[in-house]
């Protein structure tokens, strides 16, 4: 069954800074110029993907590959980039338990890619970013949300269409407290994604009057989660926040086994485990009333239909729009730079994302670029509008709720725009 994902019913505006203050090094979006070793490009925009075909986020692979493939198809149908079709090589990112991503990057670099789309996992991206940026190749993730990437040293070659975790963490923390949970338990996978998001949820919830009475950062590859859940049970919180990937289905089983069911304690999930496929084997009603958050804007029905023309077997749409926009922005930046070289593309990504004539879709936007017009690409995932460190400065966080069938639909969306607080 195809879910109707990301259809916000209400929008609340808020102001928030997306760029954390930093010192030293070169951070995302700030391109180092004048390098004698900077590649010149060969006239063909060649993309590589490092996206999950296996591992704990494999369920996100089809929508992300679908978004990439749809964008490339539409770009090439519009005449390609720099007069040539966009080339592409796909590889697997695996997860943090393997070395697959590093091997994939090695393969892509031998294939002379100009930009790499991926990874989905923040921890996986952390493990490969140095190798990619040292090669003067752009890394563009549709799904990395770790706050670390805002200030990571990358020679200005790292970008993302997904907003940082501090946004999702703030929305989720506010949601938990607003639902009347003055005591909160957190079960978070122990990595940069899980621990970072748990930190922000804790900060926001406690600023709002809640109290995190127990937090467990667990090994996602553990064979058994009974001891972790027992710690939460001993604290008896009203609300339980689950931050993880596909192993959450096992955590849910243990919660139910120990009597911490969603009708007795309010459960909350995040983008890493919000899925309509991971819980299909759970008894009906297991997730009834469970809420969660997903970064990103609406993925319209028309976009979903176009995706299904590329891959009719897609049933998940999470990060499909962000993947589509990543490829489209890379193509537009290459046109604006009149070069397929990684540093040249990176130097134009901020420019094509904001401040000029608004346009949507590659064909409309590239015609303006070729006419010498400064453009502002508005994507399927939202306005994007990169700030100086490669983060989207306009972001939407969707709030979703599961029904008795263990599937979820949108409840509302909360939009954030960069304000005057940059500390």
What Cα–Cα distance (Å) separates residue 142 from each residue in 1, 177, 312, 381, 411? 24, 29, 21, 10, 23
The verdict on residue 409 lying in a domain is no
pLDDT digits (tens, 9 = 90+) for 312-347: 999 888 899 999 999 999 999 999 999 999 999 999
Which residue did the predictor score with more confidence, 27 or 129? 129
Measure the CA–CA gap between 180 and 32, rounded to whole angstroms: 49
The candidate with the shortest Cα–Cα distance to 82, out of 280, 325, 389, 341, is 341
Burial of 409 from C-beta contacts in 10 A (0-12 / 13-18 / 19+): middle
**Per-residue confidence band for 102, with pLDDT thresholds at 50, 70 and 90:** very high
pLDDT digits (tens, 9 = 90+) for 184-221: 999 999 998 999 999 999 999 999 999 999 999 999 99
* Residue 17 pLDDT exceeds 80: no
Helices (H), 137-208: 165-178, 192-207
The verdict on residue 11 lying in a domain is no
Percentage of the chain exceeding pLDDT 90: 76
Q: Which of 242, 271, 294 is the last residue of a domain?
A: 294
Task: Give the pLDDT of residue 301.
Answer: 86
**Per-residue confidence band for 417, with pLDDT thresholds at 50, 70 and 90:** low
Q: Which domain CATH number covers 154?
A: 3.40.50.2300
Measure the CA–CA gap between 59 and 311, rounded to whole angstroms: 14
Domain shared by 225 and 181, yes or no? yes
Non-local CB neighbours of 24 within 8 Å, separated by 6+ positions: none
The verdict on residue 3 lying in a domain is no
The verdict on residue 250 lying in a domain is yes
Measure the CA–CA gap between 241 and 230, rounded to whole angstroms: 15
Domain shared by 30 and 158, yes or no? yes
Burial of 312 from C-beta contacts in 10 A (0-12 / 13-18 / 19+): exposed
Domain shared by 94 and 212, yes or no? no
The verdict on residue 413 lying in a domain is no
Domain shared by 319 and 285, yes or no? no
Which residue did the predictor score with more confidence, 365 or 7? 365
Per the prediction, the chain carries an average pLDDT of 88
> Does pTM top 0.85 for this prediction?
no
SS3 219: coil
**Per-residue confidence band for 42, with pLDDT thresholds at 50, 70 and 90:** very high
Total structural domains in the chain?
Answer: 2
The verdict on residue 133 lying in a domain is yes
The conformation of residue 37, written as its DSSP 8-state character, comes to T
Task: Give the pLDDT of residue 37.
Answer: 55
Q: Per DSSP, what are the bridge partners of residue 242?
A: 187
Q: Which of 250, 275, 294 is the last residue of a domain?
A: 294
The verdict on residue 4 lying in a domain is no
**Per-residue confidence band for 404, with pLDDT thresholds at 50, 70 and 90:** very high
Q: How many residues does the chain have?
A: 423
Task: Give the pLDDT of residue 312.
Answer: 97
The verdict on residue 415 lying in a domain is no
**Per-residue confidence band for 238, with pLDDT thresholds at 50, 70 and 90:** very high
Domain shared by 58 and 146, yes or no? yes
* Residue 419 pLDDT exceeds 60: no
Domain shared by 258 and 190, yes or no? yes
pLDDT digits (tens, 9 = 90+) for 50-83: 999 999 999 999 999 999 999 999 999 999 999 9
Task: Give the pLDDT of residue 11.
Answer: 33
pLDDT digits (tens, 9 = 90+) for 270-313: 999 998 888 988 999 999 999 999 887 657 789 999 999 999 99
* Residue 416 pLDDT exceeds 80: no
Which residue did the predictor score with more confidence, 203 or 38? 203
Domain shared by 159 and 23, yes or no? yes
* CA 22 to chain CA mean position, Å: 22
Measure the CA–CA gap between 328 and 363, rounded to whole angstroms: 10
Domain shared by 85 and 155, yes or no? yes
Measure the CA–CA gap between 257 and 259, rounded to whole angstroms: 6
Q: Which of 274, 294, 314 is the last residue of a domain?
A: 294
Domain shared by 255 and 307, yes or no? no
Measure the CA–CA gap between 323 and 225, rounded to whole angstroms: 33
- Segment 213-236 shows an average pLDDT of 97
Q: State which residues form the domain around 384.
A: 19-163+299-392
Burial of 6 from C-beta contacts in 10 A (0-12 / 13-18 / 19+): buried
């Amino acid at each position: 069954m195809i879910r109707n994902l990301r259809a916000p019913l209400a929008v609340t505006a808020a102001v928030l800074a997306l760029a954390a203050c930093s010192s030293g090094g070169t951070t995302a979006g700030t391109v180092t110029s004048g390098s004698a070793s900077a590649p010149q490009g060969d006239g063909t925009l060649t993309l590589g993907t490092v996206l999950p075909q296996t591992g704990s986020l494999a369920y996100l692979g089809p929508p992300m590959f679908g978004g990439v493939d749809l964008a490339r198809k539409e770009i090439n149908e519009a005449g390609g980039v720099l007069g040539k079709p966009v080339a592409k090589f796909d590889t697997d990112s695996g997860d943090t338990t393997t070395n697959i991503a590093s091997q994939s990057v090695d393969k892509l670099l031998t294939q002379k890619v100009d930009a790499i789309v991926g990874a989905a996992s923040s921890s996986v991206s952390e493990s490969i970013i140095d190798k990619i940026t040292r090669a003067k190749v752009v890394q563009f993730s549709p799904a990395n949300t770790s706050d670390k990437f805002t200030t990571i040293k990358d020679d200005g070659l790292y970008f993302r269409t997904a907003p940082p975790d501090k946004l999702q963490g703030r929305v989720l923390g506010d949601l938990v407290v607003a639902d009347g949970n003055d005591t909160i338990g957190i079960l978070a996978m122990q990595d940069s994604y899980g621990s970072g998001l748990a930190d922000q949820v804790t900060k926001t919830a406690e600023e709002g009057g809640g109290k995190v009475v127990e937090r467990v950062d667990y090994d996602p590859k553990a064979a058994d989660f009974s001891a972790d859940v027992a710690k939460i049970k001993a604290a008896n919180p009203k609300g339980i926040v689950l931050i993880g990937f596909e192993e959450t289905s096992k955590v849910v089983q243990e919660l139910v086994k120990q009597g911490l069911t969603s009708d007795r304690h309010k459960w909350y999930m995040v983008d890493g485990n919000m899925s309509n496929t991971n819980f299909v084997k759970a008894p009906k009603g297991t997730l009834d009333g469970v809420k969660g958050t997903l970064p990103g804007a609406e993925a319209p029905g028309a976009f979903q239909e176009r995706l299904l023309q590329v891959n009719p077997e897609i049933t998940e749409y999470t990060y499909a729009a962000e993947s589509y926009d990543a490829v489209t922005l890379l193509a537009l930046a290459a046109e604006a730079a009149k070069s397929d070289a990684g540093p040249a593309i990176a130097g134009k990504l901020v420019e094509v994302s904001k401040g000029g004539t608004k346009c949507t879709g590659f064909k409309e936007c590239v015609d303006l670029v070729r006419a010498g017009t400064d453009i502002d690409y508005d994507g399927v995932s939202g306005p994007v509008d990169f700030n100086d460190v490669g983060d989207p400065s306009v972001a939407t966080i969707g709030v979703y709720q599961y029904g008795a069938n263990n599937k979820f639909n949108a409840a509302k969306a909360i939009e954030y725009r960069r304000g005057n607080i940059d500390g």
